[in-house]
Amino acid sequence: MQTPTITAEGHQLPTALEPRNPGMALDLDWVRTAQANTSAIERRAKTLPGRRSVKKDYQAAWLCKAISLIDLTTLSGDDSEGRVARLCAKAKQPVRADILDALGMQGLTTGAVCVYHDMIDTAVSSLKGTGIPVAAVSTGFPAGLSPYHLRIAEIGESVKAGAEEIDIVITRRHVLQGNWQALYDEMKEMREACGDAHVKAILATGELGTLRNVARASLVCMMAGADFIKTSTGKESVNATLPVSLVMIRAIRDYYDRTGFRVGYKPAGGISKAKDSLVYLSLIKDELGDRWLQPDLFRFGASSLLGDIERQLEHHVTGQYSANHRHAMA
């Protein structure tokens, strides 16, 4: 599956798919030497919103890029087939046609649609023929504390149902207890259960205690073969933050420098404003480079973000802001 590759200047380019991260043997020396200077990281994060400023046509192009990187998500207990079908329609046509025509951005879609297992059939049917993949949360999401054999079985059932991407949750206590071998073994078995489906490892960073733990957990999951590392389930009290993102993407850069394999990054939870998406995109561009600004290596886990981006794009085209209800998600 390939969605349009849009540069910051608004040009569309082809993107070659990356070879999957095969993982490697657990290197405990590397893991234990990983550190995080919390005060320095927080100082750097505070400067990020003011370091980059894009306006007018350039901002519109960056916002279209952000749309192509969204995992449009619904993970509510009251999800229904109708809601998911409408969300998939939004994924196929994320911005009103008249706005896209004015921007010259035909063919723009979101990066994926993310749902619970029960909604996979509806999402796959609704997206048939579009090339938009379905992602499913799995392994006892969001706590990840159901019996282990059931977590592995759940992955298999979601892949069988048609999910092309599986968002798994790690066992947080392995990180908090420094049991890196257990985390590695768990992640490796979950990756194997995914087969050809790409696996995103959710670290639930708000529950890991320290940025050092985030750095080490990131490395272990990549060593075990994770295709993406993801900040949060969206259900924790603290979800994606800039300091956590800085730690995780530097771990990704370190892993790439040592192995030659690119691993994707997905911040999730709490990113709801268009201006926030611009900060994250500039951070990725600065720290990892343009190659990571493509759907196979970067995603936003979000739902309300798309609505705010659409409002900003309408303002760019018409000079007026519209009410939120004109940009419904589902």
Catalytic residues: 167, 230, 266
Quote the tokens at residue 177.
């207890």
Nearest to 173 by CA among 213, 219, 200: 213
The amino acid sitting at 281 is: L
How far is the C-alpha of 235 from the C-alpha of 169, rounded, in Å?
12
Check: CB of residue 250 under 8 Å from CB of residue 40: no
For 117-238, list the strands marked E by DSSP: 134-137, 165-169, 198-202, 228-230
245 vs 294: CA distance, rounded Å:
17
How far is Cα 286 from Cα 296, in angstroms, rounded to an integer?
18
Closest CA to 151 of 142, 221, 236: 142
Query: 286, 255, 252, 256: which is closest to 266 by C-alpha?
Result: 252
Mark residue 71 as left, alpha or beta (left: phi above 0; alpha: psi -120 to 50; beta: remaining): beta
Nearest CA to 132 out of 66, 195, 200, 70 is that of 70
